[in-house]
Amino acid sequence: MGNSTNRCLISFLAIIILLALGTFAAGAIKLMKGQTVYIPSYSNVIGDQPINLTANLVIHNTDRAHPITLVRVDNYDTNGKMVEKYLAKPVELKPLAAKRITIREPKKGDEGAGANFIVQWKAEHQVCEPIIECIMAGSLGTQGHTFTSQGRVIAEDE
């Protein structure tokens, strides 16, 4: 083998190793004791005619051994004003359990660009991060729209 062939082979192997390490790091399990998560939701889809959407906030405890406690689930409007607190007291989600909160289509005049949720959770033990997402759905005539948005961590407790 020539010198340039060896360099190409080494470069190829280096790229494969870097890609494998990147994939491993991206798939690494992150253990936490709590988080505050921001989840965007959208109240409508704008087109020729606005299509109002129903938002379903879904929180999945992905840990197989330990519960998590939902400390707060709050909904804010387009202007950042709190609209509703959904928990009167903390709620425990058992291992692999899920909780859904549904926001019906907005009232006339409340359509705005969208709203958002703030979800705060905690756990006694370090647990796998929950999956927190919003599924929005709506229809007009025979046309339907469904999409999701993922939560983004804005504070962590390790």
| Structural contact between residues 93 and 67, judged by C-beta atoms closer than 8 angstroms | yes
How do strand 31-41 and strand 152-157 relate by DSSP bridges? antiparallel
30-157: CATH topology = Jelly Rolls (2.60.120)
Summarize pLDDT for 17-76 with one digit per residue, the tens.
Answer: 655 565 455 567 889 899 999 999 988 888 788 888 889 999 999 999 999 999 999 999
Q: Is 108 left (phi over 0), alpha (psi -120 to 50) or beta?
A: beta
What are the structural domain ranges in the chain? 30-157
153 pLDDT more than 80: yes
Which residues, including other chains, have CB under 8 Å from residue 34's CB and lie 6 or more apart?
71, 120, 121, 122, 123, 156, 157
Summarize pLDDT for 78-103 with one digit per residue, the tens.
Answer: 888 998 899 999 999 999 999 999 88
In this prediction, residue 10 has a pLDDT band, given cuts at 50, 70 and 90, of low
15 pLDDT more than 80: no
